[in-house]
Structure 1
Amino acid sequence: MTLPDRLARRLPAPPVRHAPRGPARDLPSRPAATRGRLILLGPAFVAAVAYVDPGNFATNSTAGARYGYLLVWVVVAANLAAMLVQTLTAKLGLATGRSLPELCRDHLPRPLNRAMWAQAELVAMATDLAEVIGGAVALHLLFGIPLLPGGVIVGTAAFAVLALRSRGFRTFEIAIAVLLGVIVLAFAVNLVTAGPDLSATAGGLLPRTAGTDSMLLAAGILGATVMPHVIYVHSALTPNRIPTSGEAQRRTVARGLRIDVLVALGIAGGVNLAMLLVAATSFHGSGIPGTDTLEGVHAGLAGTLGATAAVGFAVALLLSGLASTSVGTYAGEVIMQGFLRRRIPLLVRRTVTLLPALAVLAIGVDPTRALVLSQVVLSFGIPFALIPVVAFTRRRDLMGSLVNRPATTAVAVLITALVVALNAFLLWQLVA
């Protein structure tokens, strides 16, 4: 029996009115095989939501409004890097049966493991900052709710999405995928309405920048795309997901997880690119003021593309904040349980991670500026998640037949080195 057929046994089979007779009953069931493959989809869609969180709205829209098509190449390169990173992360969980934080606890010295936990918690807080602020801005744009009460509403509403996990991982994943689908639809409509310049888009694929400010935005785009907290989450979603027996079946599941990553992050990458292209087409060089802020983008879309485009942007921003803050809270659980083997009540964790975002809203910091800077903080957390992933996935004693090929490890090391170099450059620029 093939692995898809074995997987399909976990789902109810459709009713058969007339049972096949004779040799025909030995033919493989194509619907059953399809259902078996669908079971493998889901973890990367949870990760993909974090790749289109409010931080992406801020960095991509700001990049398009300020620099036009200049940073298209950054969005594309960051998404390709994210695909490789999440593929390695999914494979790590499948091969070892453990999440990345658990592997760090098992294989790193205790002081280093504690330091890794501390920086991972800071990353989780920076993530929640972006997501809650983005959701609060969306509520203000849609309903006129002040930012501080809006942040409380978004932070509280995340409990409803998280509660779906008690009904099984498929329910949670499907809910997240539905929210992602609405976000995709909103930006697809806006992109078609805006009608970006295809030749200018192609020209934006040539790597170049325009000074330190564009480099800061490039780092923000990278931090908003290759999300360190999602590396931890994705590694926790794939262990023991599908029972397998033998290396052949593990490789089959690994192929299914790769497809999951390519589809989900391909969709997320398209949304990120659409954000930048809509802003570049509608605002760059237009003289419309304030289009490097979320509120300005909303107002600008209303003026250039119409009220429907502005409402679609705000709805997508709200759903993005709601879905991604749920994933961020889940990441906090994975981080603490993995690194420290400790659990704290969900209400306590939600409150602790929510407080920094509410403080930023209370003191009146510009929301878009706070979002962009939070993504830069996330970019500094990438190496601490990426280096262990690369180190573990190249070890045959941990990965077995799913160990990295030398070329895969080389590309992953190159990506890690580029991220570290970019962060060092930004730190030097900020200090100078």
Structure 2
Amino acid sequence: MPKSPLAPPASPPATGRRLIWLLGPALVAGVAYLDPGNVAANMTAGAAFGYLLVWVVVLGNLMAWLIQYLSAKLGIVTGQSLPQVLGDRIRSRWGRRAYWLQAELVAMATDVAEVIGGAVALNLLFGLPLLWGGVITGIVSMIVLTVQTRRGARAFESVVVTMLVVIVVGFCAGIIASPPDAAATLGGLVPRFEGTESVLLAASILGATVMPHAIYAHSSLVRDRFPLTAATATVGGVRERRLLRATRWDVTIALAIAGTVNLVMLLLAASSLAGVPGTDSLEGAYAALRDGLGPVIATLFAVGLLASGLASSSVGAYAGSEIMSGLLRIRVPLLARRAVTLIPALAILGAGIDPTLALVLSQVVLSFGIPFALIPLVWLTARREVLGDFRNRMLTTLGGVAASVFLVTLNIVLIWLTVTGG
């Protein structure tokens, strides 16, 4: 049987150069963990409570590892994305439509946060009006998506990973100029809260970390990168085991990068912005960094924010397209869909609504979508009829259930505290 050029060889293990070739999908999905919502949550937490919530960032990253691995495993073993699997299993047409509607709203909320983040960055760097910054962010994300549609998954990965490098440099530069207190950082690993506001910020950090569209996207990314066809199929699960072994490395590297950057943002705010007024907004954090650490560090931060908005917006649009095609079995051209989903973000910017308020509200909407993505993922990956011999072990399922309960509970707390004013 002839083999696809994308198929890995049937016998040698995925090591060395071949292992590197298999990496990539998790790095793209991991961009979702470094979007403007994360920046706002981590910077605000560090400025308001110092090192108190270090443990929340670490815990969120550990849970994210398990969740993203399960998403990738579903895509590799079934050859389908999570929305496709759910679309096949939800028999009711209205049930599929209802599920799609909540997932679509979540994808649009994600887009709002990412476009606003890019617009704020362009405003900080070049003084552009927020509306025009949003338009430019949307156009650039469409260009990136064109790479995916015309050049394929590998080229799309290369562009997004390049932006990821810019994000890492931009957000981590300040920590060199203002190193954190090592003892206080270690002390922050002890789980605790200090009042209602710290609970709200902890929920915001986790809500901005484990996001529904990253769960949907990862299964789609590995499906596109490693398509399951008659040409790529192997006997005895050899293909799946090789790809899952590489995926564990891929997810580990991606979440190590994302977790480190998120932690650095909180530590930078704790060491440089603690007690400084106005740091509960992206503009305020930029101004505080400029005044405290100099214009170079502040500019790098703004460049990182811009790359964050552009990269995460592209990945979010990719996820939204997959949600629609998987659940409704409707394939809308990616660029046309992208143009439509830009409207809410541009309307918010054009109406002059406070960008920070819009970011906060978008995180609340994202919180509604967590259970609908996370619970089905854990349930499906634990079932033999879905994954066969690759179904979750009992310990993995228990870990997924524990993470689901914890995240859903905290997101309910986030919604409650936001609605009631804490």
Give your verdict on TM over 0.5. yes
1:153 aligned to 2:142?
no
Q: Cα gap change, 1:431/1:282 in structure 2, threshold over 3 Å: closer, same or farther? A: closer
Aligned to 1:113: 96
> What is the one-letter code of the residue matched to 1:193?
A
Distance, in Å, in 2 between the alignment partners of 1:335 and 1:379 is 17
Output one character per residue of 1:92-113: Cα deviation in whole Å (capped at 9) or x when no partner: 0111111101111111232332
What's the counterpart of residue 400 of structure 1?
388
Correspondence for 1:300: 288
Cα distance, 1:135 vs structure 2: 0.3
Cα deviation code 1:253-298 (max 9, x no counterpart): 111011100101110111111111111110113xx32112111111
User: How far 1:7 sits from its partner (Å)?
Assistant: 5.7
* Aligned residue among 260, 263, 282 for 1:273: 263
Q: What residue number does 1:379 align with?
A: 367
Q: Equivalent of 2:114, from 131, 135, 139?
A: 131
The answer to whether residue 391 in structure 2 is matched with residue 409 in structure 1 is no
Q: Is the 8 A contact 2:25 2:221 kept in 1?
A: yes
Could you tell me which amino acid in structure 2 is paired with residue 245 of structure 1? T
CA positional deviation for 1:358: 1.4
TM-score by length of 1: 0.90
Is the contact between residue 29 and residue 217 of structure 2 (CA under 8 Å) also seen in structure 1?
Answer: yes
Match of 2:229 in 1: none
Cα deviation 1:10-52 (Å, max 9, x = unaligned): 9xxxxxxxxxxxxxxxxx999x953321221111011111110
**1:288-339 Cα deviation digits (max 9, x unpaired):** 3211211111111111111110010000000110111111111111000000
Give the C-alpha shift of residue 418 in structure 1: 1.3
Deviation at 1:419, TM superposition (A): 1.9
Aligned counterpart, 1:245? 234
Q: Which residue of 2 aligns with 1:210?
A: 194
The one of 71, 89, 107 aligned to 2:53: 71
Q: Max radius of gyration: which structure?
A: 1
Contact kept? 1:94, 1:240, Cα under 8 Å: no
Task: Indicate which of 336, 339, 357 corresponds to 2:324.
Answer: 336
Partners of 2:146 and 2:335 within 8 A in 1: no
Cα distance, 1:8–1:149 mapped onto 2, change above 3 Å: same
Verify the 8 A CA contact 2:207 2:411 in the aligned structure 1: no
**Aligned structure 1 segments of 4 or more residues deviating by more than 6 angstroms:** none
Correspondence 1:285-296 to 2 at 5 A: 285=275, 288-296=276-284
Match of 1:205, SS?
Answer: coil
Matched, 1:256 2:246: yes
CA contact (8 A) 1:219 1:379 kept: no
For the 8 Å contact 1:220–1:373, the answer to whether it is kept is no
Deviation at 1:8, TM superposition (A): 6.7
Which one of 145, 157, 164 corresponds to residue 147 of structure 2?
164
Distance 1:266 1:352 in 2: 34
Q: Within the alignment, does 1:59 sit opposite 2:41 as a pair?
A: yes
Q: Distance in 1 between matches of 2:269 and 2:417?
A: 27
Answer yes or no: is 1:48 the counterpart of 2:64: no
Q: 1:98: which partner in 2?
A: 80
Shift of the 421–235 alpha-carbon distance from structure 1 to 2, 3 Å rule, reads: same
Give the conservation status (yes or no) of the 8 Å contact 2:382–2:391: yes
What is residue 356 of structure 1 aligned with on the other side? Answer: 344
Change (3 A) 1:351 1:29: closer
Deviation at 1:351, TM superposition (A): 2.7
Unpaired segments ≥5 residues, structure 1: 11-27
Report the residue type matching 2:270 in the other structure.
Answer: A
Letter in 2 for 1:146: P
Match of 2:181 among 182, 191, 197: 197
The answer (yes or no) to whether the contact 2:71–2:377 under 8 Å persists in 1 is: yes
Structure 2: segments with no counterpart, 5+ residues: 227-231
The Cα of 1:251 is off from its aligned counterpart by 1.0
Q: Give the secondary structure class of the aligned counterpart of 1:218.
A: helix
Q: What's the offset of the Cα at 1:212?
A: 2.5
Where does residue 168 of structure 2 map in the other structure? 184
Distance 2:6 2:144 in 1: 30
Which SS does the other structure have where 2:198 is aligned? helix
Deviation of 1:348 (Å): 3.4
Aligned pair count reads 409
Per-residue deviation, 1:203: 1.1
Percent sequence identity is 56
